[in-house]
Amino acid sequence: MAGSAAPMNSSLSKLQSLNGLFAIYKKQGPTSADVLNTLKETLLKEAGVKNANPRKRKKQSLKLGHGGTLDSAASGVLVVGVGTGTKTLSTMLAGSKKYVAVGELGKATDTLDATGKVTLEKDFDHITRVDMEEKLKSFTGDIMQVPPLYSALKKDGQRLSVLLKQGHKVEAKPARPVTVYNLTLQEFKPPLFTLDIECGGGFYVRSLVDDLGKALSSCAHVKTLVRTKQGQFTLEEHALPEEKWTLEHIVRSMQPCSVSEQSTKPSDQPAEKPAEKPAEKPAEEPSEKNSVNHAENKT
């Protein structure tokens, strides 16, 4: 018995000594918080911890957090902080994000994506590729945007999405400034269209697609959404798939950091724009430090 305990304690000790950031792949379906809990449970089991409960907020043996929540219906890069890395998430991830979004013309939903109920249907036969490319110009640069009602933003301490599901009446948050660095129409096969988006903090892809549909005298919603980049982490080069959620792979891919780096580490922001840190962040890409220890689900 004593012989088997030593490797377990050694593995757990190594896990607990990690301080840094790494990226994992979030699949479509679970919330970002659920994915983080699964990651934590997997790592604790590998370290030999029995009956690991990642949702317990007290007496945590491993400190993990994520920055930049993805909707449950979205997939892609989810950046995770471990140890002191959880304290650097907002600073490290204040740079640009990239998304590939597939929108569908002719239908609007209450959530602005495919998970919601259809609230409006309108004709889209009049829309051409040229029309859409022309309208996209007005959504590029520094713009004002109204966040979706179904979001992780809060009213009186409660998430708007939760209040809506409970039947409460919720008023839209006021429009706020956001930045779109690049916005390109990759494919146009009505009713579907594909956008490549590079944006700053506080930006909602769902609001963009909804506003674009209205600007084209029709309506639209997000059918699928994939985040391909967040800060310096890309989907292709850095995001670990679930089968690689092991101590070995994390150590190999982790970007180390120390407490002193919290205010000194630069983010990966386009040269023409300084990094910004919005006060509140959306469900699609907020930079709040959603630690498992005291995190809130952002859906």
Tell me which residues are annotated as active site. 71
Across the chain, where does the E strand assignment appear?
Answer: 20-26, 64-67, 75-82, 97-105, 107-109, 118-121, 141-145, 154-155, 158-159, 176-189, 192-199, 220-230, 233-234, 255-256, 289-291
Three-state DSSP class for residue 12 = helix
Distance CA 80, CA 253 (A): 12
Cβ neighbours for 188, distance < 8 A, ≥ 6 positions apart: 129, 132, 194
Distance CA 236, CA 245 (A): 16
Which tokens sit at 124? 């889209």
Q: Helices 32-46 and 2-16, interaxial angle, to 10°?
A: 140
Cβ neighbours for 78, distance < 8 A, ≥ 6 positions apart: 23, 24, 25, 26, 32, 35, 36, 66, 68, 70, 227, 230, 239
Which tokens sit at 244? 């690689």
Distance CA 92, CA 263 (A): 9
